[in-house]
Amino acid sequence: MKKVVGIIGGMGPLATVDLMNKIIQRTPASKDQDHIHVIADNYTQIPDRTTAILGKGANPAPYIEQSARRLEEAGADFLVIACNTAHFFYKSADHAVSIPILHMPKETAVFLKKNNINKAGLLATSGTLNTKLYQRSCESYNIEVLEPDSKMQEAVMQGIYAIKGGDLEKGHQNLLAAAKKLLQEGAEAIIAGCTEIPLVLTSSSNMPIIDPTEILADMVIETSLGLEERVQA
């Protein structure tokens, strides 16, 4: 019997729908009943994660814990968080429930290891960069992470918030420029470390984009169907 997944969402709404779409698109199914039971809490009232991490906004942890408990009570067997930066509050959510929560940055590091990528560029919110979520996860597998300089990071943040506001063209321009610079500095691939980024950047032969949401969607499918594999650090 398939396990039920609960999505702690609303961070932002497009990213939540994107994760759900990828789970549906990547599930091997020939009819409705073959798909995974997904319960999503599109809780858009969760305070901004980046401003909180930078000490300038309300703490989102209680809201994330509330969402996790709501999903567990609704019948979820395991949870995922549809936001990279929100993984800074992963332990709070994990302590709030008795069911497991998949960790997107750790799953991404496992994917990079499996695919022999030793140096990756990271595009993410300033909050995610400051938390070192991806850097530490990748370090466990001896993967070097390159980050934008401060000026380029300002442009990345402008791009991310443009996407959240619906201006996909501005988001694409800002993020494409940052990705190209990281590749010039020696990155073998770019980690799209914010769930909005893959909405405007797609992978190509000269610009490999690693989409953690796709990786998480695959892990949701494998976990639900009982097919999990792990690479040892």
Q: What is the mean pLDDT of residues 59-83?
A: 97
Residues forming beta bridges with residue 5, ordered by sequence position: 38, 78
In this prediction, residue 233 carries a pLDDT of 40
> Per the omega criterion (within 30 degrees of 0), is the bond before 226 cis?
no
| Catalytic site includes residue 83 | yes
From 112, 178, 194, 210, the catalytic residue: 194
List, for residues 209-223, the tens digit of each pLDDT value. Answer: 999 999 999 999 999
CA dist 200 → 12, 165, 169, 211 (Å) = 15, 13, 8, 11
Q: Say whether pLDDT at 13 is over 80.
A: yes
Q: Mean pLDDT throughout 144-164?
A: 95
Of 181, 175, 183, 177, the closest CA to residue 207 belongs to: 183
pLDDT confidence band for 229 (50 / 70 / 90): low
Write the class of the CATH domain 5-103+214-225.
Answer: alpha beta
pLDDT value for 228:
62
Alpha-carbon distance of 212 to 191, in angstroms, equals 7
Q: How many of the other CB atoms lie within 10 Å of CB of 50?
A: 23
CA distance 175 to 163: 10
Helix H or strand E segment including 191: strand 189-192
Percentage with pLDDT > 90 across the chain: 82
Q: List Cα–Cα distances, 147 to 33, 91, 204, 232, in angstroms.
A: 43, 25, 20, 26
- Give the number of other CB atoms < 10 A from CB of residue 37: 14
Q: Where are the domains of the chain?
A: 5-103+214-225, 105-212
CATH placement of domain 105-212: 3.40.50.1860
Q: Report the predicted TM-score, pTM, of the whole model to 2 decimal places.
A: 0.88
Whether the domain at 5-103+214-225 and the domain at 105-212 fall into the same CATH topology: yes
Beta-sheet strands, E only, within 25-114: 38-42, 78-81
Catalytic annotation, pick one of 80, 83, 120, 143: 83
- Is 138 one of the annotated active-site residues of the chain? no
pLDDT at 31: 96
